Amino acid sequence: MENKKVLIRCHDISKSYEKNNVIRNFSFDFCEDHLYLILGESGCGKTTLLNILTGTIFFDKGSISVYNYKFAKQVSLDFSRENIAYITQNTHFIDYLTVKDNLELCLNKIEDSYLIQNYLKEFQLSTSINKYPSQLSGGERQRIAIIQALLKEQKIIIFDEPTASLDLENKIILSSILKKLKKDHVIICATHDESMKEVADEIIDFNHIENYQNSDYILSNYKKIEVQKKFLFSYMVKQLFDKKREKKSEFLLVLILFLILLLFFASANYKEKLLESLVSKYQVNVVQTLCSIESGDYCQSILEKYHAVNFTYNYAENIPIPDDLVKDGYLVLEFDGTLRTLPYEKNLFPIADQTLLFGNYYTSENEIILGYKAASSLSENPQDLIGTKISIKLPDKEEEFTICGIFKYLPDNDIYLQSMYGDLDYNMYSYINSKYLEKYLYDDVFGHNELHNDKATSLYVYFNNSKDLMHFYHDFVGKNIKENDLAVRDFSSNFIDYQQDIEVLKLFSYPVIILAFLSALIFYFQTKNIQNHYKGYILSVYYYYGYEWNKILKTNLIVSFLSVISKYIIAVILAIIFVPILNIIVSYFNLFDFQLFSIDIMIIIYLLVALIVLSFLFTMISLIKQKKKGWLRVIEDGDDLL
């Protein structure tokens, strides 16, 4: 008897609720190699004593020593977690992990994994290794909980009503296990089951609990168990693939994120979207470019780099306008200033056939095409002008041209012509061809347009496809010709009517986006709130298994990020798939004159960052609250969720 090791010493413990004394002046030593039975009727306070011993609740007076650590008022929950296995009527497991996984998490050393099979065989549970906790009976769950205590090397095992939900067969199995365990453990069982007396070394009669006293035995010294836990991430991430997870809320969250992305895609980058859509839809292949007259071959090398197929001289933007031609505030020209330039090659003017009313496109450099009003001013029957000659005074000389074609009456909002000339009455102009104007590309006869104060030559640059055109346009639009050798005129202002349409769309869509985003956040946080109660339970079980809270928190944040990102990626993929389909529908029903939806990478990134930050903040706040609540209380509350 002298060699008995005292693991728990209670000295003069008392506990009352309001004025009801539940425990009064209890002193007792719990020694190793013993099974203690605390016997009494239900409701007499047995569970209260167990909760005091495990640190779940505080006591009013006295002290408790566990090993050689002395506690007043309350046993440290963290110390209890590391050294005492408290097996309540509700056992605690990670529900989405198998028995094998749950047991592996309890190992103090990775190399001790062979013990799992040994204990399962000894406890008659070998066939349950790949089962989930929900597939276990009450007796099996209790036996698994005992194995967890053995794997964690906890010498103190405390049971609360271990046989309450067991049939006779499981009671016999449990009794046999307890007889073996008590050889090198201290086991404390609170029960009202009289049949447990046969396995007890000592029975504590709870009706006379104040009569017990301490022994003369010495408290055993505490030896901290060396712990090298298994990598937590590989287990925690399995939750993302758990088939039992609630899928409806996840599907709704993906759907809401998908709709928000579509709304942003419909309203963002409207100016760029407008230009790209109009360029593509209306076969726009030309941009107006300014090239420094001192740049030499620079401009031509840049145009080749961007796959320009041709460039032509722009008559209207290059004619010299000296100050002495401005009289009384009006511009008085001694030459024709209404001429506009068209490419000589018909394939560079894609609307040629649909635009010509009479005659043909150019076949020689000294040919000219007249607008409908310009032709009508010369003849009541414009068709009769085809093949006749017209004399036009240019800044350097007077030139005779043959009329080869007459344009039909053109609307002011013709998209292709707007992209070249802006918002003009195209019917009043005459159109000379670029072949005739080639000579002005390489001399200073016309010089540069003093009216615009640009020391540059204005060119029309042509491309085979809208992609090359927009690439060139975005790289050079709006640059200052004084500082750069090449610049592109911004033609977005030529489509004011369309910009107004998109501005209206923006004003309408932004409130919808804000409402949708707020609705998504409310839904998301409600979903997360429910999930975090469940997650708080799961994380507390990991903590109960022996993992440090900081490691659990970091791993959980990584898994939470993966969860958010996975849902968001699905929403992004859906949006990318549906954007072209929706654009086809919009185009088919002619709902807009431009491509309504456009994918914006920055919007995708901004929304992802916002989602991660909000998820991080909400998760942190929720988990901090639950940590303050206490891991065991969270576990007990979480039992209702399962």
Write down the pLDDT at residue 601: 87
Give the chain's mean pLDDT. Answer: 84
Specify whether 27 is located in the same domain as 176: yes
Identify whether 327 is part of a domain: yes
Specify whether 265 is located in the same domain as 201: no
Specify whether 425 is located in the same domain as 550: no
Specify whether 459 is located in the same domain as 514: no
> What beta strand segments (E) does 442-593 contain?
456-463, 486-488
For the CA atoms of 158, 160, 162, 163, what is the dihedral angle to 10 degrees?
150
| Ordered strands of the 186-191 beta sheet | 84-87, 156-160, 186-191, 34-39, 202-205
The pLDDT confidence band at residue 463, using thresholds 50, 70 and 90, is: very high
The pLDDT confidence band at residue 308, using thresholds 50, 70 and 90, is: very high
Lowest-confidence pick of 90-104, 165-179, 196-210, 235-249? 235-249
CA of residue 109 relative to chain centroid, distance: 37
Identify whether 124 is part of a domain: yes
528 half-sphere exposure, CB direction, 13 A CA radius: 23
Q: Which residue has the tokens 């010294």?
A: 221
Assess contact for 481 and 290: CB atoms under 8 A.
yes
Domain end, chosen from 464, 485, 506, is at 464
Specify whether 294 is located in the same domain as 409: yes
Query: How far apart, in whole angstroms, are the C-alpha atoms of residue 589 and residue 143?
Result: 68
- Total domains in the fold of the chain: 3
Q: Which of 98, 133, 134 is nearest to 116 (CA)?
A: 98
Identify whether 153 is part of a domain: yes
In the structure encoding, which two tokens stand for residue 559, read together? 């898994």
Specify whether 175 is located in the same domain as 259: no
Write down the pLDDT at residue 210: 79
Nearest 5 degrees, angle CA 440-CA 442-CA 444? 65
Q: Which of 404, 396, 399 is nearest to 364 (CA)?
A: 404
Identify whether 448 is part of a domain: yes
Query: How far apart, in whole angstroms, are the C-alpha atoms of residue 639 and residue 552?
Result: 20
Query: How far apart, in whole angstroms, are the C-alpha atoms of residue 547 and residue 456?
Result: 73
The mean pLDDT value for 502-507 works out to 68
Identify whether 236 is part of a domain: no
Identify whether 179 is part of a domain: yes
Query: How far apart, in whole angstroms, are the C-alpha atoms of residue 504 and residue 592?
Result: 12
In the structure encoding, which two tokens stand for residue 419, read together? 């992209």
Query: How far apart, in whole angstroms, are the C-alpha atoms of residue 275 and residue 283?
Result: 12
The mean pLDDT value for 129-147 works out to 91
Specify whether 323 is located in the same domain as 189: no
**Angle separating helix axes 114-122 and 138-151, nearest 10 degrees:** 140
Q: Which residue has the tokens 């301490």?
A: 214
State pLDDT tens for residues 328-347: 666 667 788 889 999 999 99
Q: How many residues does the chain have?
A: 642
CATH number at residue 152: 3.40.50.300
In the structure encoding, which two tokens stand for residue 589, read together? 């029903």
pLDDT of 246 above 70: no
Q: Which residues pair with 203 in a beta bridge?
A: 37
pLDDT of 641 above 50: no
State pLDDT tens for residues 161-210: 888 878 888 888 888 888 888 888 999 999 888 888 889 999 998 878 87
The pLDDT confidence band at residue 402, using thresholds 50, 70 and 90, is: very high
Specify whether 376 is located in the same domain as 510: no
Assess contact for 397 and 366: CB atoms under 8 A.
no
**Angle separating helix axes 549-588 and 496-544, nearest 10 degrees:** 150
Rg from Cα positions in the chain: 43
pLDDT of 259 above 90: no
The pLDDT confidence band at residue 451, using thresholds 50, 70 and 90, is: very low
Specify whether 131 is located in the same domain as 51: yes
The mean pLDDT value for 41-56 works out to 85
Query: How far apart, in whole angstroms, are the C-alpha atoms of residue 7 and residue 240?
Result: 42
Q: Which of 148, 191, 186, 183 is nearest to 166 (CA)?
A: 191
In the structure encoding, which two tokens stand for residue 138, read together? 């009450």
Pick the more confident residue, 252 or 16. Answer: 16
Q: Which of 436, 418, 419 is nearest to 315 (CA)?
A: 436
Q: How do beta strands 156-160 and 84-87 pair? A: parallel
Q: Which of 208, 210, 214, 206 is nearest to 46 (CA)?
A: 206
Its domain, for residue 298, covers: 286-464
Identify whether 162 is part of a domain: yes
Residue 503's CB: how many other CB atoms inside 10 A?
Answer: 11
Residue 582 φ/ψ region, left for φ over 0, alpha for ψ in the -120 to 50 degree band, beta for the rest: alpha
Specify whether 460 is located in the same domain as 527: no
The pLDDT confidence band at residue 1, using thresholds 50, 70 and 90, is: very low
Lowest-confidence pick of 304-318, 391-405, 419-433, 531-545? 531-545
Residue 73 φ/ψ region, left for φ over 0, alpha for ψ in the -120 to 50 degree band, beta for the rest: left
Pick the more confident residue, 315 or 41. Answer: 315
Identify whether 477 is part of a domain: no
Assess contact for 225 and 58: CB atoms under 8 A.
no
Specify whether 312 is located in the same domain as 266: no
Domain end, chosen from 464, 489, 515, is at 464
Query: How far apart, in whole angstroms, are the C-alpha atoms of residue 116 and residue 106?
Result: 10
The mean pLDDT value for 224-238 works out to 85
In the three-class reduction of DSSP (H, G, I as helix; E, B as strand; rest coil), residue 187 is classed as strand
Pick the more confident residue, 483 or 106. Answer: 106
Specify whether 419 is located in the same domain as 520: no
Write down the pLDDT at residue 591: 74
| Ordered strands of the 308-313 beta sheet | 308-313, 456-463, 286-292, 486-488
The pLDDT confidence band at residue 358, using thresholds 50, 70 and 90, is: very high
The secondary structure of residue 155, as a DSSP letter, is: S
Q: Which residues have CB under 8 Å from 601's CB, separation 6+?
A: none
pLDDT of 241 above 90: no
E strand or H helix that includes residue 413: none
Query: How far apart, in whole angstroms, are the C-alpha atoms of residue 560 and residue 568?
Result: 12
Q: Which of 94, 488, 532, 48 is nearest to 303 (CA)?
A: 488
Phi first, then psi, for residue 548 (nearest 5°) are: -70, 145
The mean pLDDT value for 376-390 works out to 95
State pLDDT tens for residues 543-584: 888 888 888 888 888 888 888 889 899 999 999 999 999 988
